């Protein structure tokens, strides 16, 4: 039976993940899949001891291979890892994630059952500290990251994109792999090309991956600003093929900016009378948003502590406003050399 199962190559880009990397690797090697397995890590120039941890584990297990990724860019590292791999099924994994034991077996069964080119499941964010738990709640909320299937969950079926992904190697080669000119949003863009080539991307809610969010508000802010900027770049490249939900955070930022301008004009007396009353309608959007955040924090989740609730009121607006501001920058001038400094700075 083992000889009939396709071999699996797990590919993982790694940079400054000393806290998470060992568990990430162990959950890959601990998969209950009976076929051949290998793990290729694309090592960026980490400064926190990550490389030493990986080298120690690789010395003890021949299934672990490494390639160097001095550019640190995720798509570059993924392509290098894929090029160094040898099996016909490619499983993308992240150092900030942990796979459930049956993840690979289920994913390959779904690939064979559906004929899909790529299969993905649910990102199940978790936290080890109160702040990280609040960030995880933001990730898991349909209001946090726009309601994508792999955040909020949905019924099984064809999907726009997939979290991480379990790919048929021949399809990856057909579409040219990951776009190395992108630093964020590379998964969505790759799946766009896979679907454009006539293949199916499939969502399976039985697949679950644990994801560990950033550990501080500043890191979370930097991450979401960079991600938003690259999404703006993708809008420049692909226009309306981007889902409508990605335009909501920048509209919120614009509404807040207009509200501030109107408030200043009212305070200085430039706007008054009927004109001031009509202009005050711009406050409806920010007021509605604040009420929504407070409802989500203090009413929708009755089981969390007061500290968790207050953390959440910081986390959700940080996600939305940083992402939305970055998006506007990306649309206006392009992403250029924007990087996610939450990964490069310890």
Number of compact structural domains in the chain: 2
Contact 181, 71 (CB under 8 A): no
CATH (domain of 85): 3.90.550.10
- Going by DSSP bridges, is the β-strand pair 8-14/157-158 parallel, antiparallel, or unpaired? unpaired
| pLDDT tens by residue, 220-274 | 999 999 999 999 999 999 988 888 888 999 999 999 999 999 999 999 999 999 9
Q: How far, in Å, are 48, 66, 87, 145, 218 from residue 58 at the CA level?
A: 18, 8, 19, 35, 33
Task: Give 270-335 as a DSSP string.
Answer: SS-HHHHHHHGGGGHHHHHHHHHHHHIIIII--SS-HHHHHHHHHHHHHHHHHHHHHHHHHHHH--
Asked whether residue 218 is assigned to any structural domain, the reply reads no
Q: Does 256 lie in the same domain as 147?
A: no
Q: Does 48 lie in the same domain as 161?
A: yes
pLDDT of 47 > 70? The answer is yes
Asked whether residue 313 is assigned to any structural domain, the reply reads yes
Asked whether residue 228 is assigned to any structural domain, the reply reads no
Q: Does 101 lie in the same domain as 166?
A: yes
299: containing domain: 235-344
Q: Rounded distance, CA 226 to CA 215, Å? A: 17
Q: Does 137 lie in the same domain as 245?
A: no
The residue among 195, 188, 196 whose CA lies nearest residue 230 is 188
Point out the domain boundary residue: 179, 213, 247. 213
Q: Does 279 lie in the same domain as 156?
A: no
| pLDDT tens by residue, 81-100 | 999 999 999 999 999 999 99
pLDDT of 284 > 60? The answer is yes
Q: Does 35 lie in the same domain as 182?
A: yes
Confidence band of 153 (pLDDT split at 50, 70, 90): low
What is the reported pLDDT for 306? 87
Q: Does 144 lie in the same domain as 19?
A: yes
Q: Does 239 lie in the same domain as 187?
A: no
What is the reported pLDDT for 346? 56
Asked whether residue 271 is assigned to any structural domain, the reply reads yes
Contact 297, 312 (CB under 8 A): yes
């Amino acid at each position: 039976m083992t000889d009939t199962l396709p071999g699996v190559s797990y590919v993982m880009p790694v940079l400054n993940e000393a806290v998470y990397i060992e568990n990430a690797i162990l959950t890959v090697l601990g998969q209950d899949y009976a076929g051949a397995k290998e793990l290729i890590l694309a090592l960026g120039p980490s400064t926190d001891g990550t490389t030493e941890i990986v080298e120690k584990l690789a010395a003890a297990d021949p299934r672990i291979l490494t390639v160097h990724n001095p550019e640190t860019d995720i798509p570059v590292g993924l392509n290098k890892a894929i090029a160094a791999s040898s099996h016909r099924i490619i499983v993308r994994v992240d150092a900030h994630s942990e796979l459930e034991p049956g993840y690979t077996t289920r994913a390959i069964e779904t690939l064979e059952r559906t004929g899909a080119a790529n299969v993905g499941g649910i990102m199940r964010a978790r936290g080890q500290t109160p702040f990280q738990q609040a960030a995880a709640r933001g990730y898991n909320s349909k209001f946090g990251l726009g309601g994508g299937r792999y955040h909020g969950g949905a019924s099984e079926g064809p999907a726009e994109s997939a979290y991480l992904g379990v790919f048929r190697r021949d399809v990856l080669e057909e579409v040219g792999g990951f776009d190395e000119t992108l630093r964020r949003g590379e998964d969505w863009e790759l799946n766009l090309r896979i679907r454009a080539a006539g293949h199916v991307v499939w969502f399976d809610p039985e697949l679950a991956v644990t994801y560990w969010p950033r550990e501080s508000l500043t890191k979370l802010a930097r991450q979401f600003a960079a991600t938003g900027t690259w999404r703006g770049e993708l809008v420049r490249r692909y226009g309306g093929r981007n889902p409508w939900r990605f335009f909501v955070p920048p509209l919120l930022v614009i509404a807040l900016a207009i509200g501030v301008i109107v408030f200043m004009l009212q305070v200085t007396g430039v706007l008054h009378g009927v004109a001031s009353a009509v202009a005050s309608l711009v406050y409806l959007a920010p007021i509605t948003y604040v009420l929504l955040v407070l409802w989500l924090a203090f009413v929708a989740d009755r089981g969390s502590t007061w500290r968790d609730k207050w953390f959440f009121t910081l986390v959700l607006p940080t996600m939305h406003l940083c992402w939305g501001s970055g998006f506007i920058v990306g649309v206006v001038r392009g992403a250029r050399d924007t990087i996610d400094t939450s990964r490069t700075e310890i």
